[in-house]
Amino acid sequence: MQDQAFAGLKGRSVLVVGGAGYIGSHVSKQLAARGYDAVILDDLSTGHREAARFGTFIEGDCGDPAVMDRVFREHGIGVVMHFAARAMVGESMENPILYYETNVAKTLLLLAAMLRADVKHFVFSSTCATFGETDKPIREDMPQAPVNPYGRGKLMVETALRDLQSAHGMNSAVLRYFNAAGTDPEGELGEDHAPETHLIARALAAAFGHGANLTVFGKDYPTPDGSGMRDYVHVNDLGDAHIQAMEKILTGGGFQDFNLGTGHGSSVFEVLAAVKRATGREVPHAVGPRRAGDPPRLVADSARARSVLGWKPRFDLDAIVKTAAAWHGKHPNGYGDKKK
Ligand SMILES: NC(=O)c1ccc[n+]([C@@H]2O[C@H](COP(=O)([O-])OP(=O)(O)OC[C@H]3O[C@@H](n4cnc5c(N)ncnc54)[C@H](O)[C@@H]3O)[C@@H](O)[C@H]2O)c1
């Protein structure tokens, strides 16, 4: 499909919005490795300049129409991958305006700029949080009932994308990640959120003594060891899916959506055991009560991505943790450019 995608791009570039962040930076590197020209736009609100080195970097806000008109005019963009967002569920409950402004309003402004520039291919970072709570492996056709402003905002954008297909012929791929984890196996890029809320990164920081001890929220769930289970998917596997989805929509197809996970749930205690295997260190932890709104088990059914895109995740939990351990072990302060 890559030849058709190159033909569809007609020499134009891929705009990676939010490409200085964790997932966007990894995908930019994979795009470059496959011969695509990436232009990275990021306002560095949570991202890292050092991570945005696999493409032409522009510092700017995707919600600024003047900036976006200039980017589309001057950089010959053929397709947009949109990672930029605030992405912490708890913060979204405390500050919904910030989430609706960044994740919804600014995404609509970006889409409006795309339409002005006649760019009609869009890959969108969505989330399993659009589904709310369910215990079954989650398929795309299951009801979407998000339980927090973060998930609701992402679902609003998904809804807008369906409307933009009908009204303007927008081709979009909505990719709903489960728990993104792991880092660049070559060690050039990492994961550095402030604060860090992701389990594997936090467990490694605790094991290496760079971060606070871990609290396991609940060990009375109806799961084999009582702790919550999540579907951890390696960031490069997500990158593969992005490139496959981009290549697909460059040949048309309208609105398409894919749930991305390995289909395998790992419990918190299984993650801590994997950290021990990767580092030889115990993760210092305490057990606390369940957190409100945390379902016992969230696992993807990614059969659609496997059959339609030919996507096949390559990293299991041990491989994911091994890549992350290598990076966190060498980078106790992350990229070192932001206050923690
Ligand atoms: N990390 C996960 O497990 C996960 C799971 C599901 C979905 N997602 C989604 O994936 C995307 C990327 O997540 P991440 O973990 O890489 O987050 P991140 O915070 O590391 O990256 C987001 C990037 O967007 C930039 N940004 C924010 N607002 C911007 C704006 N207005 N203009 C330009 N740039 C802006 C930030 O500076 C940052 O570099 C997000 O949309 C998130 O909701 C992440």
In this structure, the residue with its CA closest to atom 3 of ligand 1 is: 180
In this structure, the residue with its CA closest to atom 20 of ligand 1 is: 21
- What is the atom index within ligand 1 of the atom nearest the CA of 128? 6
d(CA 142, CA 140): 6
- What is the atom index within ligand 1 of the atom nearest the CA of 20? 39
Q: Are 15 and 39 in contact (CB under 8 A)?
A: yes
Residue 157 in contact with ligand 1 by CB distance below 6 A: no
How high is the pLDDT of residue 110?
A: 98
Residue 43 in contact with ligand 1 by CB distance below 6 A: yes
**Is 150 annotated in the active site?**
yes
d(CA 290, CA 292): 6
In this structure, the residue with its CA closest to atom 33 of ligand 1 is: 42
Q: Which amino acid is at 24?
A: G
**What is 2-181+232-260's CATH superfamily?**
NAD(P)-binding Rossmann-like Domain (3.40.50.720)
In this structure, the residue with its CA closest to atom 12 of ligand 1 is: 83
How high is the pLDDT of residue 9?
A: 84
Closest CA to 180 of 7, 24, 9: 24
**CB crowding 187-197: b at 16 or more within 10 Å, else e:** eebbbbbeebe
d(CA 223, CA 306): 27
pTM exceeding the 0.75 threshold for the entire prediction: yes
How high is the pLDDT of residue 5?
A: 75
How high is the pLDDT of residue 132?
A: 75
**pLDDT tens, residue order, the chain (340 aa):** 777 777 778 789 999 999 999 999 999 999 999 999 999 999 999 999 999 999 999 999 999 999 999 999 999 999 999 999 999 998 999 999 999 999 999 999 999 999 999 999 999 999 999 997 788 999 999 999 998 999 999 999 999 999 999 999 999 999 999 999 999 999 999 999 999 889 999 999 999 998 888 999 999 999 999 999 999 999 999 999 999 999 999 999 999 999 999 999 999 999 999 999 999 999 999 999 998 778 899 999 999 999 999 999 999 999 999 999 999 999 999 998 776 5
Structure-token pair, residue 140: 């795309």
Contacts of residue 42, defined as CB under 8 A and 6 or more positions apart, other chains included, come to 17, 18, 19, 20, 21, 24, 52, 57, 58, 59, 60, 84
Pick the CATH number of 199-231+263-300+315-330 from 3.90.25.10, 3.10.110.10, 3.30.70.360, 3.30.70.3040: 3.90.25.10
Q: Where are the domains of the chain?
A: 2-181+232-260, 199-231+263-300+315-330
Residue 259 in contact with ligand 1 by CB distance below 6 A: no
